[in-house]
Structure 1
Amino acid sequence: MSDAPAPEPAIIARGLTMRGPWGPVYGPVDLEVAAGGVTVLVCPAGSGRTALSMTLAGRMRPRSGTLSVFGRTRVQDIFAAAALAGIDELDTVAESVTVRDLITEQLRWDARWYKLIRRADEADLARVCGPVFGELPLPPLSEYVEELTELDGLLLRIALANTNRPPLLVVGNLEQVTSDHNRDLLVGRLVDLGRDQTVLTASVNGVTGHPVRQVPVANVSRAELAGQQKGGS
């Protein structure tokens, strides 16, 4: 039996809360996410879950509580250590653009300001999308986003967000892929990415058939928050 200490969790959240103009959004939330692999937050869909995902990726500042992501506690440092994809409020793309357009834009965004970046070609498609799509067929460069399947559309958004391969990858939620078969393929791809990153996503009903960790999270739905207020009044 090994006496080596357990590795420090990738994410430690204590008492996180968020409020908006109309009242509580989520919290208090206590959470630990182990480093590496895929962790699925099992909780109701809605604005609370979305805001929590954005907070854990350093895109929102909580009202109260503490958050550490790979030892980083400042929002800007957490932001730099995390990629976020599949959040409609942040990375929705116009349907009338092509895969080539999106990859070209991302390559230009990632490049030094003085570098001239040509339009994306097949090699760029493979470099950006290959690690995320794995053995699945890559979308054609000429394909319009509106013509992509739900699975391909989300995998493309993940690929664009993940070009720099930060330690943490947060994917909004699994239910945006409505086909059971395609959702199973999506989880399989996230498991593969979890070999080199810590992957965090969310689901209403959880995941079966894959080696993922599942963490129930409370206090992210309107009903839960309303119950708190009623109980405290």
Structure 2
Amino acid sequence: MPDSSAPDVAVTARAITMRGPWGPVYGPVDLDIAAGGVTVLVCPPGSGRTALLMTLAGRMRPASGSLSVFGRTRVHDIFAHAALAGIDELDTVAESVTVRDLITEQLRWDADWYKLIRRAGEDDVARVCGPVFGDLPLPPLSEYVEELTELDGLLLRIALANTGRPPLLVVGNLEQVTSDPERDLLVSRLVELGREQTVVTAGVNGVSDHPVVQIEVENTTRAELANQQKGGA
């Protein structure tokens, strides 16, 4: 009989690879990520890790191998059920805009085309940012993005990406927050989000003192890929 206590699987990847104009980017990579909670992919920073996170969120199609996210295998379907935040190539925010501007833009993007969305107010900040910030102070409407702390800036990017609360939330590397205490707060907030969603992120050294799953991932750096090619020569 199947084990009814076994966790549901959110992500299954088998031998997925990515190639760019200059050759391999990552892979082959195998992953099994359980549904719910936070999973940290432990691997060095770089284009390979970024591309892998984007693949898991349906923003890139693997060159080979198989990927299933909550049973969905088409990139378009994975995209529709995943949020992606904290990837500079995709959601970098202009420093000269305010929190009000960003939230207003997101609310307009989420709304039906025929609805008139006024400029964001305090209630909108609470609705958009509250689930992500939790007990932490919400960013002031008039604050410029460049004036936010690293933690608040990343939490804001997560909040903007996560307004639809999809099953999967993929967050760029934890090292974006360089302060150890603030990074600890970031992980705490991701753990809270993991109570309702499956959260996947990445880090160099992993995470301690938090209830997260850590998976070491190989074949994401140029050195690893070069050694792999030499071994197969």
TM-score where L is the length of structure 2: 0.98
> Amino acid of the residue matched to residue 24 of structure 2?
P
Match of 2:141 in 1: 141
Structural RMSD (CA): 1.0
> Aligned to 1:94, what secondary structure does the other structure show?
coil
Which aligned pairs between 1:55-134 and structure 2 lie closer than 5 A?
A: 55-134=55-134
User: Is residue 231 of structure 2 the alignment partner of residue 231 of structure 1?
Assistant: yes
User: Residues 180 and 65 of structure 1: is their aligned pair in 2 closer, same or farther, counting only changes over 3 Å?
Assistant: same
Identity of counterpart residues, as a percentage? 83
Equivalent position of 1:54 in the other structure: 54
| CA distances 1:80-136 after superposition (whole Å, capped 9, x unpaired) | 010000000000010000000000000000000000000000000000000000000
Partner of 2:151: 151
State the 1:8 CA deviation: 3.1
Question: Where in structure 1 do 4 or more consecutive aligned residues deviate above 2 Å?
Answer: none
CA distance in 1, matches of 2:3, 2:53: 34
Shift of 1:232: 1.6
Partner of 1:41: 41
1:5 Cα deviation (Å)? 5.2
Give the distance between the partners of 2:4 and 2:45, measured in 1 at CA.
38
Please report how far the alpha carbon of residue 35 of structure 1 lies from its aligned counterpart in structure 2 after TM superposition: 0.3
- How many residues are matched? 232
Q: Deviations over 1:157-176 (max 9, x none)?
A: 00000000000000011000
Measure the CA separation in 2 of the matches of 1:72 and 1:25: 23
What's the CA shift for 1:3? 4.8
| 1:9-51 Cα deviation digits (max 9, x unpaired) | 1000001000001110000000010000000000010000000
Q: How far apart are 1:185 and its partner, in Å?
A: 0.2
Paired with 2:207 and 2:185, the residues of 1 have a C-alpha distance of: 12
Distance 1:141 1:41, change over 3 A: same
CA offsets, 1:182-211, max 9 Å, x none? 000000000000000000000000000100
What is the one-letter code of the residue matched to 1:103?
A: I
Displacement, 1:7?
A: 3.3
Structure 1 stretches of 5 or more lacking a match? none
